[in-house]
Amino acid sequence: MAAMNDPAVEKRRSLPMLGARALVPKRASAGPPPRSVRVSVTDRCDFACTYCRPSRNDGYADGRLMTPAWKTMFEALRRAGVRRVRLTGGEPLVHPEIVAIVAHLSSLGFEDLALTTNASQLARLARPLRDAGLHRVNVSIDTLDPVRFREVTRGGDLDAVLAGIDAAIEAGFSPIKLNTVVLRGVNDDELERILLWAWERRLLPRFLEVMPIAEGAKLVAEHLVTAAEMRRALAAHLLAEEAVTEPGLGPAKYVRARHDPGLRVGFITGTSDTFCETCDRLRVSSTGVLRPCLATDDGVDAAAPARAGDAETIVEHIGLAWSMKPDGTVWKGCTEETAAGVSMRAIGG
């Protein structure tokens, strides 16, 4: 009964928590505040990759945040102690105000400001984004074959993406990391070609296992190629050494090239060996929900304070969302049952 009058308990009750939290094991203590945040700045995308979206006409989430609300959100993230921000989606470069958004983020002084893109719009935006203060760019590219590219992306134009990569190099982004989702029977015969093509341009290729999240859940049984298999396929080009992470920079594990140890390739084992134990990420969905994990719909809805310009309340919500982070010693991320039902592009891949 006493709790009913406790203002702290009453306040917690009124917080807009979402999802089926009871099913997800939680950490005993929340630990330090989130340092790294991924933001789905829009769930709109000009591609519909087979492992991400069911079709080009699958609709978008209602209630996405507009730029003024995003600005409040970013100010709150900064105040909450976040140091690294990655913009993703959806496709961040189809957001009409992406350059202004990057400029605002840059003015807030984040240590690391990065963006993941399909590069379809990068030829025109690489320079403005660099000038606006973007530090790093990762480009997703699953094949160097234009016909395959069109199939995997459901309509994407490989030439536009290659022009985007050239523009990013010219604008001075470095390193430029590539993401290639490897699918058996689709592009697994291209690993060596992509590796050598990337190294020739001093790009940093990374090969990803397809994860059973969103549409990927339908592909894993037939198309998963494990990182161990990929590494075996590329063994002739790689030093026989243990793959290592870049501390604080995500789950990819890197191995150096045999002919030039200044070159590396990364592997991301989202399915065969999940990495929740070291996950330090919070996510913000395109509708302003703070999410502690990509693989569940759990979260705290911060859209209302974002629209009201109330950064202080968002800071409180960030603390609550962070306390909902799954216990990575037992939680297995995108291989958990909940993952198949989430929207990758709304949460932000």
| Residue 211 is a binding residue for ligand SAM (CB under 6 A) | yes
Query: What tokens does 129 get?
Result: 């984004």
The nearer residue to ligand SAM, 315 or 342, going by C-beta atoms, is 342
Give the separation between CA 111 and CA 90, rounded to whole angstroms.
24
Based on the shown chain and the rule CB under 6 A, indicate whether residue 213 belongs to the binding site for ligand SAM: yes
- Give Cβ neighbours of residue 254 (< 8 Å, ≥ 6 apart): 243, 244, 245, 246, 264, 265, 266, 267
Q: What does the buried/exposed string (b/e) look like for 245-266 if buried means 16 or more CB atoms within 10 Å of the residue's CB? A: eeeeebbbbbbbbeeeeebbbb
Q: For ligand SAM, which is the closer residue by CB, 27 or 148?
A: 148
Shortest separation between residue 260's beta carbon and ligand SAM, angstroms? 25
With contacts defined by CB under 6 A, name the span among 113-121, 158-166, 257-265, 321-329 that binds ligand SAM: 113-121
Distances in Å between the Cα of 177 and the Cα atoms of 144, 160, 165, 303 are 16, 17, 10, 32
Residues 71, 86, 325, 345: which binds ligand SAM (CB under 6 A)? 345
User: Binding to ligand SAM by residue 141, rule CB under 6 A?
Assistant: no
For ligand SAM, give the closer residue by CB, 91 or 301.
91
**Residue 338 touches ligand SAM, criterion: CB under 6 A:** no
Least Å distance, CB 279 to ligand SAM, is: 15
Segment lying near ligand SAM (by CB under 6 A), choices 65-73, 195-203, 207-215, 323-331: 207-215
Choose among 81, 130, 149, 68: nearest CA to 110. Answer: 81
Q: Does 136 bind ligand SAM (CB under 6 A)?
A: no
Reported residue count of the chain is 349
Among 77, 54, 20, 7, smallest CA distance to 281 is for 77
CA distances from 181 to 45, 128, 329 (A): 17, 28, 26
Task: Compose the 75-104 pattern: x for residues touching ligand SAM by CB under 6 A, - for all others.
Answer: -------------xx-x-------------
Q: With binding defined as CB under 6 A, does residue 179 bind ligand SAM?
A: yes
Q: How far is the CB of 179 from ligand SAM (least distance, A)?
A: 3
Residues 298-337 that bind ligand SAM (CB under 6 A): none
Q: Does residue number 121 form part of the binding site for ligand SAM (CB under 6 A)?
A: no
Residue with tokens 């979260």: 299
Single out the residue of 225, 229, 258 nearest to residue 241, CA to CA: 258
Q: Shortest approach of ligand SAM to residue 52 CB, angstroms?
A: 4
Chosen residue from 116, 287, 335, 343 binding ligand SAM by CB under 6 A = 116
- Cα–Cα distance measured from residue 257 to residue 235, given in angstroms and rounded to the nearest whole number: 10
Binding stretches for ligand SAM (CB under 6 A): 45, 51-52, 88-89, 91, 116-118, 140, 179, 181, 208, 210-211, 213-214, 216, 270, 344-345, 349
